[in-house]
Structure 1
Amino acid sequence: MPLSSSKTNITVAHLASFQGNFGDVANHLGFRKWFSGLIQSDIHWANIEIRDFYRGNREFDANLVAELNAFDLVVIGGGNYFELWPENTRTGCSIDLPEELLKDIHPPIFFNALGVDDGQGVGEKARRYFADFVKYLYNSDKYLLSLRNDGALQNIRKNFPELSNFNFNVIPDHGFFVLSDSNLRHNHKKDISEVVIGLNLAQDMTNLRFKNGKEQFLSQIRHVLLKIEFDRLILFPHIYSDVEILYELISSLPDAIKREKISLSPLGSHNLDIRTTLENYLSVDLMIAMRFHANVIPLSLGTPTIGISSYPQISNLYADLDIQSWSLDVDQQADFPRDLTINLEEILSGSEIVRGTFQQIPIKLWAQRTSFEPTIKTWLGSHGFS
């Protein structure tokens, strides 16, 4: 049952990324639908684009504090905002809101399913400040801190032993729920006469993703695609640079595949683009994906998915879901193309064991988020939203 509030309308400042990445949009759609169900009052959301701070257009300063103080509640995330590599920070992470600023922010703050990312290293500022920052949030009833199910908890314990005994809330990324109970999902009619493969490739952070070279990786993907049978290949770019690497792959494929079997999902964060991309995710029989939310969405549907791990976040996600064997490391697999082919053939064989494994994932995720609801409802109630 949703909580009630003495106020008919609640204003919420939402600090996150809203433009330029399909995964972010899916995350927020899944979150707001759920959060609105927790509170009976109407919610007015105000977006504050976090990339403006990263680009240097805005600062984490007194002006932001004044802006946030005009709202009833503040939500930060979800997203990968506990990055540990920045050095121009007073907190040791990408959310540069030190204690002296937080004390001046009057509304309660929900830190929403945040990733703790050490994939680009742990900076000296993180070593000095991050643990104290987290302790301050954890020990104050003014804040509710939740971590994302992408290895965030393990990264904290690995890098900050002094936080190992803290009982952190870990919840699924809200992108897992963007299509739950949606009319789009209920009304979708899948063509069962064709085999449809979805593919997402990413090339940002090239030096981290492809230690053996991007060209070798693309050659391996091409080799695998030419060995298996399929009717359609839907390409899913989530950001602009995904288009570039997907184009490189397409250019290397035979003319018949390029002309007859390839579809390109939209790149964009407008409503029609989002709708079409979600419909395309509903259409695939299996997914091969590098980017985080390109794994999240098919997994949320129980679609067999192979995570291509070129960044620790993906292997961590699959470990959290207890399906490690379906995440393949680009650089550390003894024979990446062989293992990818084996996994694809096992899925395409119609194995009931494989199907059952992936169909259990949405059930587990739903239970994990549901178990967090008493915590957030109690916290909201303590701040008058009851």
Structure 2
Amino acid sequence: MSATTHPAPAAPPSAAALTGKRRIAFAVWADADRLPALPALLRGLALTNQTVCEDFLVLHDGLPEGAAQRVAAYHPRAELRCVATESAARLASWAKASGGAVEPGAFGVLEAFRLRDYDTVIVLDAEGVVCGPLGRLLTLRRGLAAAPYRPGGDAPGTQVLVVQREHLTDAFCARLDEVASQGAYPRERGAAGVLAQALALAGEEFVPLDPEGVFAAAEPDLQEAKLADSADFGAELAAFQARFMALSGAAHHDLLVHFGAPHAARTGDVGCARRVAAAYIAAGEYQDAVDLLGSVRIPVDDAWPHEVYGQALMSVSRDEEARAHLRLATASPNWAPPAFARLAQIAWVRGDDDAARELALAGLDADPTHRPCRQMLVRAAAVDGPAEQAGATAPAAEPADPREQLAHVAFYMPQQGNAGDKVLPEAVRLAFDPDPGPRRWHSVHAHRLFDEAALARVNSRRGLVIGGGGLFLPDTMPNGNSAWQWNVPDDLLDRIEVPIAVYAVGFNLFDGQSYRHERFRTALRKLAEKAAFFGLRNHGSIAQVRRLLPPELHDKVRFQPCPTTVTRHIVRGWRDPEQREDTVLLNAAYDRAGLRFGHDYGHFLAELASAVRALGSYAEVRCVAHTVEDERIAYDLRREHGVALPVVPMYDFDNDEIRAAYARTKLVIGMRGHAGMVPFGCGTPIISLISHPKMAYFLADIERPEWGVSVHDRDLSTRLTARAAALLTHHEAAVADVHDRQARLWRTTQQNAALLHSLGF
């Protein structure tokens, strides 16, 4: 291979493969006879299950032209899968074996058992209608569930099936084939008879479902919903979109966008546009929200759309326009508090702390309980940098010679913020210098606009370090200048004259998130070209970032572990505890809960309650909260399962207290990235509750994947209890193992430190 030839980077494992998140799909069998009824099924599904939007597979052996477009109009994740070459001969032979009692298409529902890319498949009769919530079906995890062939009967039907991974196998399909091809089943039941006999051969019983109020045979008027000519279809679709948007309550992002965006474009309905734009914003699709609200006329006195439009505009850094809309929103008592909070945020981002305080106070005048306004008031009064996090109330005096300082771009977390994010910036500094304070460091808050004054301050220092968190994330503090967490315009990045080190940054997209626009890719490339050192904190992040960079920049991206993972080596005077408390610290995270848990939160909570009870015989289990919201696990366990946990409010701790708490416990079971990395760095054994790919990335780097358990694991309690018990029972060996793996990360950190020193850091 020539020196200028670069192989394409290997595709990293999918996020679902890393988190164990269940892949769920609805499936129907449709042929030319059954297709006309399908729109009724899809309409009923959307109207009665507004918060549900999983893949919807239409299995078929050939459908009329235009069917795909019209089916897709009623579901944003519909997919037509033609199985003609695989199934036609098989279904024909089954029909022949039935002696003509069953036509081939009637067996088509059994083709769903041949799906291999899902963990749970909910099979519905294409000629039925969804008439109620399907939430219970989505939470089923074991067995083959079916509505009985006859009400109250003891044989499964095929009107509604919930099929788990253990039945989506070649072996079970071979059993179906054997039964159907021999005709050895009650032929009057057709496909349901084949399924019943296949289960009986294996000595299995089905899990009975009651379809009452959930699924029913379609009424005659619904059967008449034909795929008619384009004009009729367009009118029918428009009427349905209007009907869906008239529903109240929460709705899934994909459904809102799929039905609401065309409805708003067609009608100019401001309320609909506002609702869809809010869904865009929640998903990090800020430009889409701007485009949609910019396409409708918003009345001056309609405050809510102005507030949402202002949020969308500030998220793409169109601040002057955002201010205008947010000021209009402050005229309403209901929307004044959030509008003032956003106005305060714009002022703070632009470095005007006095204006930010005034605006936050105006919001608190409207609602003294409004938390975002109170948070902005605290932020505007805070001092950026780790010294503030340790309790300092004022910045230290400027050193005589700024050229002895390094500038440091990071997310500086205020008091009562995320405990892990408080520790991070100081840990980055300690990896460079034993003095993490303002004598040696100049703080640059990543979320503040990097303007001409900030550029001058950075260029007067001896170098710039960018690091302290998962900064490659689109939605914590969105901006249109870079589309990641450092709010830096391209032209100002170009004019930085001192060497730049990107240090232990993480690529922190959740399973289900993506960078949809090109802005991030171009900003990332510019940063990689500009940086003298480009280190990411796990190999998973390296793989993701390399896929977004041109081949000639791939080798520039290197592994630099998060410095929190080597805490014992970088904190001056560190001493391992002589004795540890007989405790286990449990952390759960609730930011972006839908992306973390999917439909499995109830399962997770029940399994965790069982594990906590079991672990109580080994040590006292306590809830450790990195944020105030993390305390929810203690509330939910007590309310739902009667399990009471004391709460450790780590969000109120300073950095030394955080490290001390993690060093003196015996085991940490954590869902946040730094509820794993920080205790590991303190020498404490860990188990990760995996709901984000970054947890699996870290465990892969230290070659201990068995220290992780997916929050979706069907046997979560059993696995978690066994692994925790082993670490507690053999605690000295577990601590030694942590120290050994930490030593490997420390060697990498030292090697990178030598390189950084040669670059002037």
**Normalization by structure 2: what TM-score?**
0.43
Partner Cα distance (2:647, 2:720) in 1: 22
Match of 2:648 among 245, 256, 264: 264
Change (3 A) 1:251 1:180: farther
2:519 aligned with 1:121: no
Secondary structure at the aligned position of 2:467 is classed as strand
**Equivalent residues in 2 for 1:194-213 (5 A)?**
195-213=582-600
- Alignment-derived partner of residue 47 in structure 1: 443
Match of 1:236 among 608, 617, 624: 624
Q: Is the 8 A contact 1:302 1:361 kept in 2?
A: no
Partner Cα distance (1:368, 1:337) in 2: 35
Q: Is the 8 A contact 1:150 1:314 kept in 2?
A: no
Partner Cα distance (1:48, 1:285) in 2: 36
2:409 aligned with 1:15: yes
Change (3 A) 1:345 1:161: farther
Code of the residue aligned with 2:703 in structure 1: it is D
Partner Cα distance (1:377, 1:92) in 2: 30
Q: Alpha carbon RMSD of aligned pairs, Å?
A: 3.2
Secondary structure at the aligned position of 1:374 is classed as helix
2:620 aligned with 1:217: no
Name the one with the larger strand percent. Answer: 1
Secondary structure at the aligned position of 1:152 is classed as helix
Cα deviations by residue, 1:99-145 (Å, 9 ceiling, x for unpaired):
321122333322221112332522232xx2444444434444x6432
Q: Is the 8 A contact 2:434 2:572 kept in 1?
A: no
- Alignment-derived partner of residue 369 in structure 1: 749
Q: How many angstroms does 1:8 deviate by?
A: 8.9
Cα deviations by residue, 1:62-100 (Å, 9 ceiling, x for unpaired):
343344344333222221112257985344533343432
2:499 aligned with 1:108: yes
- Alignment-derived partner of residue 560 in structure 2: 171
Q: Is the 8 A contact 1:131 1:163 kept in 2?
A: no
Name the count of aligned residue pairs.
Answer: 354
Code of the residue aligned with 2:660 in structure 1: it is E
Partner Cα distance (2:591, 2:677) in 1: 19
Larger Rg: 2
2:467 aligned with 1:77: yes
Match of 2:485 among 82, 91, 94: 94
Cα deviations by residue, 1:250-293 (Å, 9 ceiling, x for unpaired):
555658x65xxx35243225xxx433332221121111000111
Partner Cα distance (1:323, 1:131) in 2: 32
- Alignment-derived partner of residue 30 in structure 1: 427
Cα deviations by residue, 1:269-324 (Å, 9 ceiling, x for unpaired):
5xxx4333322211211110001111002222342211011111111111122111
Change (3 A) 1:223 1:159: farther
Partner Cα distance (1:234, 1:25) in 2: 21
- Alignment-derived partner of residue 249 in structure 1: 637
Secondary structure at the aligned position of 1:151 is classed as helix
Partner Cα distance (2:758, 2:577) in 1: 37
- Alignment-derived partner of residue 4 in structure 1: none
Code of the residue aligned with 2:604 in structure 1: it is F
Match of 2:706 among 303, 325, 328: 325
Code of the residue aligned with 1:197 in structure 2: it is V
Code of the residue aligned with 1:48 in structure 2: it is V
Gaps of 5+ in 2: 1-400
Partner Cα distance (1:37, 1:274) in 2: 15
Partner Cα distance (2:695, 2:663) in 1: 21
Q: Is the 8 A contact 2:528 2:553 kept in 1?
A: no
Q: How many angstroms does 1:202 deviate by?
A: 0.8
**Normalization by structure 1: what TM-score?**
0.80
Change (3 A) 1:280 1:87: closer
Code of the residue aligned with 1:371 in structure 2: it is Q
Match of 1:346 among 726, 733, 749: 726
Q: How many angstroms does 1:342 deviate by?
A: 1.9
Cα deviations by residue, 1:30-58 (Å, 9 ceiling, x for unpaired):
2222311599xx943232333xx3xxxx4
Partner Cα distance (2:750, 2:496) in 1: 29
Q: Is the 8 A contact 1:15 1:76 kept in 2?
A: yes
Q: Is the 8 A contact 2:588 2:630 kept in 1?
A: yes
Partner Cα distance (2:603, 2:442) in 1: 45
Partner Cα distance (1:90, 1:46) in 2: 22
Change (3 A) 1:98 1:8: closer
Secondary structure at the aligned position of 1:23 is classed as helix
Q: How many angstroms does 1:352 deviate by?
A: 7.3
Code of the residue aligned with 1:307 in structure 2: it is S
Partner Cα distance (2:701, 2:759) in 1: 26
Q: How many angstroms does 1:205 deviate by?
A: 0.7
Change (3 A) 1:354 1:11: closer
Change (3 A) 1:318 1:231: closer
> Percent same amino acid among aligned pairs?
23
Q: Is the 8 A contact 1:28 1:175 kept in 2?
A: no
Partner Cα distance (2:716, 2:724) in 1: 12
- Alignment-derived partner of residue 740 in structure 2: 360
Change (3 A) 1:274 1:205: same
Code of the residue aligned with 1:176 in structure 2: it is T
Q: Is the 8 A contact 1:10 1:72 kept in 2?
A: yes
Change (3 A) 1:177 1:87: closer
Gaps of 5+ in 1: 1-6
2:695 aligned with 1:301: no
Q: How many angstroms does 1:349 deviate by?
A: 2.9
Secondary structure at the aligned position of 1:275 is classed as helix
Quick check: 315-324 or 150-159, which moved more? Answer: 150-159
Change (3 A) 1:214 1:161: farther
Q: Is the 8 A contact 2:465 2:500 kept in 1?
A: yes
Secondary structure at the aligned position of 1:24 is classed as helix
Q: Is the 8 A contact 2:524 2:549 kept in 1?
A: no
Q: Is the 8 A contact 2:410 2:467 kept in 1?
A: yes
Change (3 A) 1:161 1:250: farther
Change (3 A) 1:283 1:162: same
- Alignment-derived partner of residue 144 in structure 1: 533
Code of the residue aligned with 1:152 in structure 2: it is S
